[in-house]
Amino acid sequence: MLPVVLLALALVIPPVPSQRVNDYAGLLPADARGRLESTLAQRESATGAQMVIAIFPSLEGESLEDFGIRLAERWRVGQKSLDNGVILLVFVKERRVRMEVGYGLEPVLTDAVASQIVRETIAPRFREQRYAAGLQGAVDAVFARVDTKALSPARRSPGRGVSPWTLAVLGVFGVVVVMLAIDAMSGGRARRNAYVAGGRRGWDSPTVIVPPIWGMGGGGGRGGGGESDSGFSAGGGSFGGGGASGDW
């Protein structure tokens, strides 16, 4: 019976967000939220790494570390193949802060580095009630550690050097070559008996079907409007408990 009661008392994790700054406590004014959202979107576009801020009124008695990893596993911030997500959690009533770091960023955002950011960048500003400044400082400190060369999707994504249009042209060219070869082997009967616009054929060559090519007009950008503030979506990153906690 006791485990059921404890489960019922656990702090509820919000649904996966559609934005990077999520202030459930009403701590930040709207203009500060907008500036942070814009900054995080720009940093994500430049590096591929995702950072999300979540501000809650209270922990409701739950363990900070337990809630942090539960939320990280639910929200899955960061890219699936790179695990390059960061989640910064703030709990106003308890004056606690937690930074969750994805697997892929642990080499550059070690527990010691995360702790330093919490203690030296966030906490002093929060004590002065300069919450937006503390969060902005944390964002700057996190992305100062991110190696853009190692994390840029353009450098890590396989096959990025060949565009979909090039592949399409090569595919169509291959089909044409095969059809010409079949026509040559049939002694020209294809040209005499086939209709260009009609549906009837007078020869027994195989039917060649060219499949549709999806997404050829996209220009190579991220799906879901990744260049705009409203286009955020978590990519499936994994977390293992790396990061740091602190208070102010």
For the domain that residue 94 is a member of, what is the CATH number?
3.10.310.50
Give the range of the structural domain holding residue 6, as residue numbers without chain letter.
2-154+233-247
- Within a domain: 112: yes
Which DSSP helix (H) or strand (E) runs through 135? helix 131-145
What's the number of CA atoms in the CB half-sphere (13 Å) around residue 110? 3
Q: Tens of pLDDT along the chain (248 residues)?
A: 444 344 445 789 999 999 999 999 999 999 999 999 999 999 999 999 999 999 999 999 999 999 999 999 999 999 998 999 999 999 999 999 999 999 999 999 999 999 999 999 999 999 999 999 999 999 999 999 986 544 444 334 433 333 444 445 456 556 555 566 666 565 554 444 443 444 444 434 444 444 433 233 333 333 333 333 446 787 789 999 999 999 99
d(CA 1, CA 229): 45
Contact 239, 84 (CB under 8 A): no
Q: Distance from CA of residue 113 to its chain's centroid?
A: 23
Gyration radius from the chain CA atoms: 27
Diameter over CA atoms, the chain: 88
What amino acid is encoded at 110 in this protein?
T
What amino acid is encoded at 102 in this protein?
G
What the block records as the tokens of 171 is: 């595919």
- Within a domain: 168: no
- The tally of domains found in the chain comes to 1
- Within a domain: 32: yes
- Within a domain: 225: no
What is the residue-wise DSSP string for 25-50? T--S-HHHHHHHHHHHHHHHHHHS-E
